[in-house]
Amino acid sequence: MDWGTELWDQYDIIEKHTQSGLELVEKYVKFVKERTEIEQNYAKQLRNLSKKYNPKRSSKDEPECRLSSNQSFLDILNEMNDYAGQRELIAENLMMNVCIDLTKYLQELKQERKMYLMEAKKAQQCLESTYKQLDSSKKRFEREWREAERAAQYAEKTDQDINATKADVEKAKQQAHMRAHIAEECKNDYASQLQKYNKEQNQFYFNDMPLIFNKLQDLDERRVQKLAQGYILFSDTEKHVMPIIGKCLEGITKAGNNVNEKNDSMVVIEQNKSGFERPGDVEFEDYSQGINRASSDSSLGTPKGPMDLLGKNKSKNFWLFSKRSKPPVTEDFAHLPPEQRRKRLQQKLEEICKELQKEVDQSEALGKMKDVYEKNPQMGDPASLASQISQTSQNIERLRGELSKYETWLAEAGGRGDTLRYKAHSFNNNGAHDVHSPDGAHSDESTPDPSQAIYAEFDDDFEDEELTAPIGKCTAMYNFPGASEGTISMQEGEVLAVVEEDKGDGWTRVRRNNGDEGYIPTSYVTITLNK
How many residues appear in the chain? 531
The CA-CA-CA angle for residues 424, 430, 434, to 5°, reads 20
HSE toward the beta carbon, residue 197, CA cutoff 13 A? 18
**CA nearest to 485, candidates 524, 451, 521:** 451
User: Which of 65-74, 151-160, 330-339, 399-408 is predicted with the least confidence, judged by mean pLDDT?
Assistant: 330-339
> Strand pairing partners for 511?
497, 517
Q: Quick one: which of 254, 340, 344 has its CA closest to 68?
A: 254
Q: What is the pLDDT of residues 240-264, one digit of tens each?
A: 999 999 999 999 999 999 999 988 8
**How many whole angstroms separate alpha carbon 130 and alpha carbon 119?**
17
Cα(173)–Cα(332) distance, integer angstroms: 147
Average pLDDT value for residue range 338-350: 82
Report the interhelical angle of 209-257 vs 101-160 (nearest 10°).
170
> Nearest CA to 72 among 327, 263, 309?
263
What pLDDT shows up at residue 416?
52
Give the pLDDT of residue 300: 44
| Residue that wins the pLDDT comparison between 511 and 323 | 511
- What pLDDT is stored for residue 274 in this prediction? 76
Evaluate if residue 321 carries a pLDDT over 50: no
Chain center to CA of 436? 50
Percent of the chain with pLDDT over 90: 45
The pLDDT of residue 461? 45
- In this prediction, residues 434-455 reach a mean pLDDT of 38
Alpha helix ranges (H) inside 321-421: 338-375, 386-412
Mean pLDDT of 78-98: 94
Q: Letter for the amino acid at 70?
A: N
- Does position 90 have pLDDT exceeding 50, yes or no? yes
Contact 426, 390 (CB under 8 A): no
Question: What b-and-e string marks burial along 174-183, b requiring 16 or more CB atoms within 10 Å of the CB?
Answer: ebbeebbebb
Distance CA 111, CA 119 (A): 12
CB 36 within 8 A of CB 91: yes
pLDDT of the residue at 415: 62
**How many Cα atoms sit within 13 Å of 314 on the Cβ side?**
0
Higher local confidence (pLDDT), 170 or 445: 170
Give residue-wise pLDDT tens across range 129-171: 999 999 999 999 999 999 999 999 998 888 888 888 888 888 9
Rounded CA-CA distance 464/457 in Å is 10
Task: Provide the pLDDT confidence category of residue 340 given band limits of 50, 70 and 90.
Answer: confident
Inform me whether the pLDDT recorded for 56 exceeds 50: yes
Domain 472-529 has CATH 2.30.30.40: yes
The whole-angstrom separation of Cα 88 and Cα 98 is 15
Q: What is the model's pLDDT at position 522? A: 86
Contact present, 45 and 247 (Cβ < 8 Å)? no
Q: What's the mean per-residue pLDDT of the chain? A: 81
Please state at what angle helix 338-375 crosses helix 386-412, rounded to 10 degrees.
160
Q: How far apart are CA 439 and CA 373, in angstroms?
A: 32
Q: Is the pLDDT of residue 28 over 90?
A: yes
What does the pLDDT read at residue 371?
A: 84
| pLDDT tens digits for range 470-488 | 899 999 988 888 777 778 8
**290 band by pLDDT with thresholds 50, 70 and 90:** low
3-state SS, one letter per residue, for 423-456: CCEEECCCCCEEEECCCCCECCCCCCCHHHHHCH
Superfamily of domain 3-258: Arfaptin homology (AH) domain/BAR domain (1.20.1270.60)
Phi/psi of residue 275, nearest 5 degrees: 90, -5
